[in-house]
A and B are shown apart, each in its own frame.
Chain A
C-alpha cells in the first residue's frame, strides 16, 4: 500500500538530522505527502519539467547560435593580421589604428618604387629566378601578381623568429606562423613547376581557415623542430607535378637540388577561392620555416602571420604588435617602422582601387572593420535572435503553465487535505508548521521538476542539434539558471497555497466532511 520512492536514505537522513527541528519536520512531512500521492506528484513534476526543459533548450540554442556566428566571422578570415618585413606604406596613408603619426611613414622607399608598387603595372627588374627570361611559365610572376612587398622581394631582413615568439605572447593573439617565402622550381620526375615556397609554421593550418587536407597531413611540430625536408603541396602545384587529383603522399620532390618528402596536399574549402594557377595559397608548397633557414643558411623572416582571438580585437592587437616590434627593434619616436602590419580587411578593401581612394579607405579601416563585422554579425544574429525569441516565448509560457500547475495542484491538495491540516493543527502543528510543510512540498516539486527539466532539456538540445543541424551549446550555466528558475517557480507557486493552509481554522478544517 505504501509506496516508497527509492532515495539514498542514509544521506538524506544525515542531512535532515542536522537541520533545525521545525525545518526537519516540514521536510519530512512534505516528503511523505509527495510520496503518498505518487501519480499527482509525477504529473505536476512533468508540467514544470517541460517548461524548464524548454528554457534550458532555449539557452543552449542561443549560445550555440552565438558560437556559430563567432565561427562564421572567424572563417571569414577577418581576424588575420600579416606582418611583413620592411615598410611599404604609401605616403599619407595612416598607420593601423587611424592614429596619425607624421614622422613614421613615407621614408622607407624612393618615390619611383612607390609608384610602381601602387599601380602594379611594371614588374620590378630584379635578379630573381622567377624573372629569369629563360624560364618558361605561362602565369604572371609573383611580383606581378602581388607587388614587391607581398612577394617578399627586396624585403628588409628585419623580422626574426624571436619577434614571432614575442608576438605569440601578446594578449588577444590566437595563432602565430612565421613565414619565409621564396619562388622555387619544384621537380617531380620529369615534370617541373614554378611556384611559391612558403617556409612556415604548423599553426598556419589554424590560421588559413579555408585549408583542408585532401591527402596526408600538414607537417608536424616535430618535423618543424628537426627542420625535416618534408613538403605539403598546394592542390594546384600537385595537379601540375603529379596530375589531377593524384595522391602524391610518400613520394619525393626536388627543390634546390634537395629531396623533400611529400606528406600532404592542401585544398580549398572556400568555393569563392578554389585555388588557381598563380595564387599564393594553392599554387604553392609548404615546408617548415626551419628547413628553409637551414638550407638557405638564413635566420630572417619575410612575414609573420597572426590571428586575433576575436575579430573585434584585430585593430587593438595590431596596435599592440606595432608597439611591441617598435620597442624590440629599438625604433625611436621620430623614426619610421621597419615592418608593415596589414590586416586582411585593409588588403581586401584596398585591392584594385585608385591610390587616393585606397588611402582614404585605409585610414578608415578601424571603422570599416567595425561596421562590416557588425553587419555580418547582425545578419547572422537576426535569424538566431528570432529563433531565440520564439523559443523563449515558448519557455516562458511553459514555465507559467508549469507554475500554474504546481499552484493548482497545491491548492487542490490543500482543499483535499483540509481535514488532514485540521488534524495536524489539533495535535499541535502551529501556523508556521503547516505553512512550511506546503511551501516545502512546492519547493521540492520545483527542485525535482528542475532536475528533470534540465535533463530533458539537455537531451532535447542534443537531439535538435543532430536532427535539425542547429548549433547547440549545453552549458553548466544554462543548467544552473534553469534549475534556479524551477526552484523559484516552486517557491512562488507554493506561497499562496501554503498561506491558505496555514490560515485555516482547525475547527472548520476538522468539521469539513
Chain B
C-alpha cells in the first residue's frame, strides 16, 4: 500500500501581479510504505516546495495528495498541524533544537501537542526510548551546545521519532555535517527504515548521499526527471 500518493501537483507562488514562480508543475509520485526515497535536485528544482507539501507545512495550488490513504491536500492549518504531529517526523539541515532545553526536553516537544498529550511521566519515558533508538541515552540531560553536530542531529531524529510517526521527512540532514558524521546519520536512517519499516523521504542535492536510499527521484524545474531503484538498498559496506 502507498504511504504517499501525489498526482498532478502544482504549486505556484504569486509574488506580484506580474511575477509568478511555478515551483511544481504537475508532479506525480507514489511512495510505498517502508520505502527509503531520496529526492535529488539542484536548488530551484522544486524539491523544498515538494518537501513542504509532503510534510503538510504547505498546501498545493492544485493536484491531489493522499497521505496514508487520507486526502490531505485541502486541509486547514490546524488539521495539517494535527497530521504533522501524528504522522510525520521532521529532520532539518540545521537541527532546529531548542538551545536552552536538554536533549530529553527537545525530544519531548512533539508530545506536548496534538490529541494524545501524554502525561509528564509517559513523555519522559517515550522520549528516553527515542533517544535510545538513536543511541544517545547517555546524553539525555545535555544541552545542545554540549553535543557534537552529529549528536545534535541524532537528538533531532529522536525528536522526529517521539510521536511514533509512519513517515520521516529529512531536508538535507547531512548538509551541516562532515562526511563521516553524515554517514552515521544516513546509517541511522537506513537502520530505522529497515528495522522499523519507517517510510523515509530524504531531500538532498548530493548525489552520493542520495545513493543511501533504496530509490531516488531527481527533480528538475518542478517535474520528475528520473525515478530509479538503487541496488544494495543503501546499506553501507561497514554498517
Give the B-binding residues of A (Cβ under 8 A): 1-2, 13, 17, 21-22, 24-25, 28-29, 32, 36-37, 419-420, 422-433, 506-507, 510, 513
Contact = CB atoms under 8 A, between A and B. Distances in A.
B109 A427 contact: yes
B166 to A, nearest CB: 14
B146 interface: yes
Given A426-B55, A427-B84, A427-B110, 5 more contacts: A29-B112, A420-B98, A426-B90, A427-B85, A507-B57
Most chain A C-beta atoms within 10 Å of own C-beta, residue among B113, B143, B145? B113
Contacts of A428: 81-82, 84-86, 110, 113-114, 163
A404 B187 CA distance: 51
Contact of B96 (A17, A432, A510): A510
B94 interface: yes
B102 interface: yes
Contact of B52 (A24, A430, A507): A507
A423 B77 CA distance: 15
Contact of B101 (A32, A425, A426, A430): A32
B135 interface: no
B110 A430 contact: no
Contacts of B82: 428, 430
B78 interface: yes
Contact of B84 (A2, A426, A431): A426
Interface string B127-144: 000000000000000010
Contact of A431 (B78, B92, B163): B78
B77 A25 contact: no
B81 A429 contact: yes
Contacts of B119: 17
B7 interface: no
B207 interface: no
Nearest to A1: B143
Closest A-B pairs by Cβ, 3 of them: A428-B85, A36-B100, A21-B117
Contacts of B112: 25, 28-29, 429, 433
Contacts of B55: 426
B58 A507 contact: yes
Nearest to B85: A428
B103 to A, nearest CB: 11
Contact of A430 (B57, B78, B143): B78
B100 A2 contact: yes
Nearest to B82: A428
Contact of B113 (A2, A13, A427): A427
B77 A429 contact: no
B159 interface: yes
Interface string B97-123: 010111001000110111001011000
Nearest to A35: B100
A24 B123 CA distance: 14
A37 B101 CA distance: 11
A513 B85 contact: no
A428 B78 CA distance: 8
B146 A1 contact: yes
A433 B110 CA distance: 12
A430 B78 CA distance: 5
A433 B113 contact: yes
17 contacts: A1-B146, A2-B101, A13-B120, A37-B100, A423-B98, A423-B109, A426-B84, A427-B110, A427-B163, A428-B84, A428-B113, A428-B163, A430-B81, A431-B77, A431-B81, A507-B57, A507-B58
Contacts of A37: 100
Contacts of A431: 77-78, 81
B101 A36 contact: yes
Contacts of A513: 94
A283 B55 CA distance: 100
A25 B113 contact: yes
Nearest to B169: A426
A25 B115 CA distance: 12
B159 A427 contact: yes
A83 B55 CA distance: 92
Nearest to A22: B117
B81 A425 contact: yes
Interface in B145-195: 145-146, 159, 163
A424 B81 CA distance: 10
B94 A430 contact: no
A275 B166 CA distance: 99
A126 B159 CA distance: 109
A427 B101 contact: no
Contacts of B92: 510
Nearest to B87: A428
Contacts of B146: 1
Nearest to B86: A428
B77 A424 contact: no
Nearest to A2: B102
Contacts of A425: 81
A31 to B, nearest CB: 12
A432 B120 CA distance: 21
A275 to B, nearest CB: 75
Nearest to B58: A507
Contacts of B101: 2, 32, 36
Contacts of B163: 427-428
B192 to A, nearest CB: 18
A215 to B, nearest CB: 71
Nearest to A36: B100
Nearest to B94: A513
A41 B86 CA distance: 33
In the complex, which of the residues B85, B109, B112, B117 has the most CB atoms of chain A within 10 Å of its own CB atom?
A: B112
A427 B52 contact: no
A428 B111 CA distance: 9
B136 to A, nearest CB: 17
A423 B98 CA distance: 9
A426 B88 CA distance: 9
Nearest to A426: B90
Given A423-B96, A427-B159, A428-B81, A506 B57 contact: yes
B156 to A, nearest CB: 10
